């Protein structure tokens, strides 16, 4: 059966800072809500307070950690305790690169009292796929000096547009059978006294792509890595490391981060429809240079979200 994607897709930028928080920016955390599902990508210190400020609630289906630098995972400890206090019973899966099992063991041991739900560890590597209902999350390798992953949230293909006139020509009466055909089901009708089948391919156009979000975490640009570029190109939203502006390009190379200009180059090379600059160093009181540097290379929409900003990802025309 073909899945019909019609769910909302919102990106909540809970934490947009670099390694050190600032008065305006919390450490890394991006919450993506697709329909009824809520996924956390990184969970820096203070993430649960940001969730309160953003009024996202605490229904978290899974946490994906990009790498084991503390600004990307310290918020897990407090969040897990809050979930326990609120009476959670469902398992909480935590996905990440190698060492996730050791990390989850620490999370389990840090509380002397039993929680009402298990926290489970799931080690991912480049190309690993985690399936959800109607979409997947796929991991890809990053370049940050330690074992690290970025993530692609990609929806299943949508059915092609429904040709109502063609369906009627084939004898399908308007009503529930239309919906079944749109959901990918073959239906049976009586035409000229004979029972015949009408297949979805008879009344649907070419399949249409679902939406795609790429979150790089901390990394050097990846468009020149063929295996990775194939996974992350053509995103509706590319959330890219832009720790520094282009004046600090030498520093970016030294510590294996990206500049805003390099993020713009990546977005252009990968065909992204929108670029969000993230992981901004606390040294910057103004981010005007970041936007300027990215736009020097990329003609699409560039945003540098403030903490608690929300972005809705719509379907392509």
Q: What is the pLDDT of residue 6?
A: 65
Q: Of 174, 179, 224, give the one whose Cα is nearest residue 204.
A: 179
* Residue 317, pLDDT above cutoff 80: no
Q: What is the pLDDT of residue 316?
A: 87
Q: HEC string of the chain?
A: CCCCCCCCEEEEEEECECCCCCCCCCCCEEEEEECCEEEEECCCCCHHHHHHHHCCCCCCCEEECCECCHHHCCHHHHHHHHHHHCCCCCCEEEEECCCHHHHHHHHHHCCCCCCCCCEEEEECCCCCEEEECCEEEEEEECCCCCCEEEEEEEECCECCCECHHHHHHCCCCCCHHHHHHHCCCCEEEEECCEEEEECHHHHECCCECCCEEEECCCCCCCCCCHHHHHHHCCCCEEEEECCECHHHHHHHHHHCCCEHHHHHHHHHHHCCCEEEEECECCCCCCCHHHHHHHHCCCCCEEECCCCCEEEECCCCC
> Which residue do the tokens 């920016």 mark?
25
Residues 270-286 as b/e (b if ≥16 CB within 10 A, e otherwise) read: bebbbbbbbbbbeebee
> What is the pLDDT averaged over residues 179-195?
89
- Domains present along the chain, CATH in parentheses: 9-158+208-312 (3.60.15.10), 164-202 (no CATH)
> What is the pLDDT averaged over residues 274-286?
97
* Residue 5, pLDDT above cutoff 70: no
Query: Where does the pLDDT of residue 182 fall: very low under 50, low under 70, confident under 90, or very high at 90 and above?
Result: confident
Q: What is the pLDDT of residue 156?
A: 94
* Residue 91, pLDDT above cutoff 50: yes
Q: Is 236 a catalytic site residue?
A: no
Q: Given the DSSP bridges, would you call strands 37-41 and 29-34 parallel, antiparallel or unpaired? A: antiparallel
Q: What is the pLDDT of residue 113?
A: 79
How far is it, in rounded angstroms, from Cα 20 to Cα 64? 20
Query: Where does the pLDDT of residue 3 fall: very low under 50, low under 70, confident under 90, or very high at 90 and above?
Result: very low
Binding residues: 67, 69, 71-72, 144, 218, 279
> What is the pLDDT averaged over residues 269-278?
98
Among residues 37, 42, 71, 241, which one is catalytic? 71
* Residue 100, pLDDT above cutoff 50: yes
* Residue 219, pLDDT above cutoff 90: yes
Residues 6+ apart with CB under 8 A from 273: 235, 236, 237, 300, 301, 316
- On average, the pLDDT of the chain sits at 95
Binding residues for Zn(2+): 67, 69, 71-72, 144, 218, 279
Q: Of 258, 259, 267, give the one whose Cα is nearest residue 232.
A: 267
List pLDDT tens digits, range 225-260: 999 999 999 999 999 999 999 999 999 999 999 999
List pLDDT tens digits, range 137-176: 999 999 999 999 999 999 999 888 899 999 999 999 999 9
* Residue 15, pLDDT above cutoff 80: yes
List pLDDT tens digits, range 22-36: 999 999 999 999 999
Cβ(148)–Cβ(218) under 8 Å?
yes
Candidate from 216-220, 249-253, 313-317 with smallest mean pLDDT:
313-317
Residues 34-54 as b/e (b if ≥16 CB within 10 A, e otherwise) read: beebbbbbbbbbbbbebbeeb
Query: Where does the pLDDT of residue 71 fall: very low under 50, low under 70, confident under 90, or very high at 90 and above?
Result: very high
Rg of the Cα atoms in the chain: 22
* Residue 284, pLDDT above cutoff 50: yes
Cβ(279)–Cβ(243) under 8 Å?
yes
Query: Where does the pLDDT of residue 133 fall: very low under 50, low under 70, confident under 90, or very high at 90 and above?
Result: very high
* Residue 1, pLDDT above cutoff 70: no
């Amino acid at each position: 059966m073909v899945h019909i994607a019609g769910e909302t897709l919102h990106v909540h930028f809970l934490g947009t800072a670099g390694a050190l928080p600032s008065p305006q920016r919390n450490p890394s955390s991006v919450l993506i809500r697709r329909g009824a599902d809520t996924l956390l990508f990184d969970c820096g210190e203070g993430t649960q307070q940001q969730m309160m400020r953003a009024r996202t609630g605490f229904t978290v289906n899974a946490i994906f950690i990009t790498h084991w630098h503390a600004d990307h995972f310290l918020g897990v400890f407090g969040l897990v305790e809050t979930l326990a206090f609120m009476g959670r019973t469902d398992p909480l899966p935590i996905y990440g690169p190698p060492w996730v099992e050791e990390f989850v063991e620490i999370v389990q041991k840090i509380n002397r009292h039993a929680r009402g739900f298990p926290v489970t560890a799931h080690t991912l590597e480049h190309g690993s796929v985690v399936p959800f209902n109607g979409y997947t999350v796929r991991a890809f390798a990053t370049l940050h000096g330690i074992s690290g992953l970025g993530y692609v949230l990609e929806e299943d293909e949508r059915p092609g547009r429904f040709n109502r006139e063609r369906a009627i020509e084939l004898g399908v009466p308007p009503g529930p059978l239309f919906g079944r055909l749109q959901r990918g089901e073959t239906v049976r009708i009586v035409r000229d006294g004979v029972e015949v089948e009408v297949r979805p391919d008879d009344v649907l156009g070419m399949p249409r792509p679902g939406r795609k979000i790429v979150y790089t975490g901390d990394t050097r640009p990846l468009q020149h890595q063929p295996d990775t570029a194939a996974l992350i190109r053509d995103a509706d939203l590319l959330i890219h490391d832009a720790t520094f502006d282009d004046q600090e390009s030498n520093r970016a190379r030294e510590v294996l981060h990206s500049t805003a200009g390099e993020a713009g180059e990546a977005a252009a090379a990968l065909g992204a429809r929108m670029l969000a600059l993230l992981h901004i160093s606390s040294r910057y009181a103004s981010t005007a240079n970041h936007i300027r540097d990215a736009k020097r290379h990329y003609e699409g929409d560039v945003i540098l979200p403030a903490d608690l900003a929300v972005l809705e990802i719509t379907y392509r025309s």
